[in-house]
Amino acid sequence: MSVPTETLLQAPILAGALVRSGKDADRIDGVRPRLVVEPRTAEEVAALLAWASRERLTLVLRGGGTKLGWGRVPAPIDLLVSMRGLNRMLAHEHADLTATVEAGATLEELNASLGRHRQWLPLDPAGDEATVGGAIATNDTGPLRHRYGTPRDLLIGVRLATTDGRLVKAGGNVVKNVAVYDLGKLVSGSFGSLAAIVGATFKLLPVPASSQTLSATFQDRDRAAAAVARLTESQLEPAAVELQAAHDRGRGTMAYRLLARFATSPAAAAAQVEQARALVGGGEAIMGDAEVALWRRYQRRASASAGTVLRMSWLPAALPQVLALVEEVGRTDGSVELVARAGVGTGLLRVDGASDWQAATVERVRARAEIVTYATIQDAPPEVKTKVDAWGPPGAADTVASAIKRALDPAGILNAGRGPV
């Protein structure tokens, strides 16, 4: 921090680089980065990291900027490195069902390209601008998580820029590979605090020929949970099983909506929706443009919040208790809404109200560890994050992760103290 920004801008490494001073729009939790750099190649990213490490400049990596609310309020940020310049599709081996892409490409750009061969990377984290690198770094998921897993499950190779300025790879171009450590897993969920993800290779899937979604509403929480259980215990294979729980202002009670999506061959999608309808006791089958619009609306709703968005995990069979807990905290001062990957046991809780109440709600949920195993803040106003830790209480894993952090980022510059390590 001692070096003036003007001096930093004169650094030889930035000669010819796309660099500017940080603006208000670049702020993370109110902290404005001193410089914003947009490298164009992986080599440039590696050189930037080495320089920052030598000069002890704190550095935050930004993809599409859709998940910057995640993590602690940062320490002063010297460098914000935008990865959007690295957005090339490097290979699409459609007959092998694999693709290699630079980290700054958005999932939307990637899938538009893969779609030419009727293939896709079935990841749908919230945010239209979400990038490949950001999806891996946060291991964020959307409703498709139910069937297709998380980014780490589809990642088969990764290219990283290290803080000593090297470019290294792990994994490869083949779906099956157990040669040495799977560093792709290590950086999944690392939030750019161990190394910079500059490229990734994924296994792909064919785009399902057809899709239909069953939508059913419930006024009663136990009936809603029972419907989810009947679906997940059945031999149906939905692509998504979502349960939305929101306060119904008109009636003054909670209302529940179950969405079960079936994406497969045409006859099979239609047949499974009908079977699902019989299992849950009713509902409406939605398809075509209406289905596309429904999921887009649903995704936007989940991530847009002026308040706190809490990412929670629980054992799938604890769903009734989770719904009861949501109802219980919803009876206090503000409003809550749950969007749950109900088959998996994870979801987002939107918490809107006074900031003290938001913080208290986070603590109230964390106090119920017998129901909710993890509760991390995905987005919150800085004043909430200064009251409660974004990541929650440290566990045994943190000691191990910290040792790896010290080895890979000895100067401790990456992610400017935002965590998770």
Partner 1 sequence: MPGGVVIGLSRLNRVLDIDIPNRRVTVEPGVTNLEITRRVAPYGYYYAPDPSSQQVCSIGGNVAENSGGAHCLKYGFTTHHVLALDAVMPDGELVHLDSAIAGATGPDLVGLIVGSEGTLAVVTRAVVRILRRPESVRTLLAAFDSISGAGAAVSEVIAAGIIPAAVEMMDALAIKAAEAAVRPGFPAADAVLIVELDGPEPEVAELFPLAERICRRTGAASIEIAASDEQRARIWKGRKAAFAAMGHVSPNYYVQDGVVPRTKLPDVLARIRQLEARCGLRIANVFHAGDGNLHPLICYDEKVPGQADRAVEAAGEILSYCVEAGGSITGEHGVGMDKREFMPKMFTDDDLDMMERVRDAIDPRHLCNPGKVFPTPRLCGEVPGPYREHPTERAGLAERF
Taking CB under 8 A as the criterion, which residues in 20-59 touch partner 1?
none
Find the helix or strand (DSSP H, E) in which 59 lies: strand 59-62
- DSSP assignment letter at 214: E
Spatial distance between the Cα atoms of 364 and 9, rounded to a whole number of angstroms:
46
Residue closer to partner 1 (CB basis): 281 or 394 = 394
What residues from 348 to 377 belong to the interface with partner 1 (CB under 8 A)?
373-374, 376
What residues from 218 to 237 belong to the interface with partner 1 (CB under 8 A)?
229, 232-237
Angle formed at CA 238 by CA 177 and CA 103, multiple of 5 degrees = 45
Q: Is 115 in the site for partner 1 (CB under 8 A)?
A: no
Spatial distance between the Cα atoms of 112 and 143, rounded to a whole number of angstroms:
19
Catalogue the E-assigned strands of 121-209: 155-161, 167-171, 196-203, 205-206
**Of residues 82, 106, 346, 358, which one binds partner 1 by CB under 8 A?**
346
Q: Is 139 in the site for partner 1 (CB under 8 A)?
A: yes
Q: Is 398 in the site for partner 1 (CB under 8 A)?
A: yes
Helices (H) and strands (E) in the chain, counts: 14, 19
Question: Sheet of 35-37: strands edge to edge?
Answer: 19-21, 35-37, 79-82, 59-62
| CA-closest candidate to residue 309, choices 328, 333, 337, 289 | 337
**Of residues 41, 113, 215, 313, which one binds partner 1 by CB under 8 A?**
313
Neighbouring C-alpha atoms within 13 Å toward the C-beta of 69: 21
Give the three-state DSSP class for 102. strand
**Of residues 391, 414, 415, 416, which one binds partner 1 by CB under 8 A?**
391
Neighbouring C-alpha atoms within 13 Å toward the C-beta of 62: 24
The pair of structure tokens assigned to 349 is: 């809780």
Do the beta carbons of residue 336 and residue 348 sit within 8 Å? no
Amino acid code (one letter) for 413: I
Q: Is 417 in the site for partner 1 (CB under 8 A)?
A: no
The least distance separating partner 1 from the CB of residue 206, rounded to whole angstroms, comes to: 4
Cα radius of gyration (the chain): 22
What residues from 257 to 296 belong to the interface with partner 1 (CB under 8 A)?
264-268, 271-272
The least distance separating partner 1 from the CB of residue 52, rounded to whole angstroms, comes to: 18
**Of residues 34, 84, 152, 418, which one binds partner 1 by CB under 8 A?**
152
Residue closer to partner 1 (CB basis): 11 or 404 = 404
Q: Is 213 in the site for partner 1 (CB under 8 A)?
A: no
Q: Is 163 in the site for partner 1 (CB under 8 A)?
A: no
Spatial distance between the Cα atoms of 57 and 142, rounded to a whole number of angstroms:
34
The least distance separating partner 1 from the CB of residue 125, rounded to whole angstroms, comes to: 13
| Segment interacting with partner 1, rule: CB under 8 A, options 80-88, 170-178, 252-260, 290-298 | 170-178
Residue closer to partner 1 (CB basis): 13 or 229 = 229
| Segment interacting with partner 1, rule: CB under 8 A, options 19-27, 247-255, 312-320, 322-330 | 312-320
Residue closer to partner 1 (CB basis): 47 or 205 = 205
Residue closer to partner 1 (CB basis): 19 or 239 = 239
Q: Is 320 in the site for partner 1 (CB under 8 A)?
A: no
Print the binding letters for residues 171-210 with partner 1: x by CB under 8 A, - otherwise.
-xxxxxxxxxxxxxxxxxxx---x----------xxxxx-
Find the helix or strand (DSSP H, E) in which 277 lies: helix 266-280
Q: Is 126 in the site for partner 1 (CB under 8 A)?
A: no
Residue closer to partner 1 (CB basis): 278 or 400 = 400
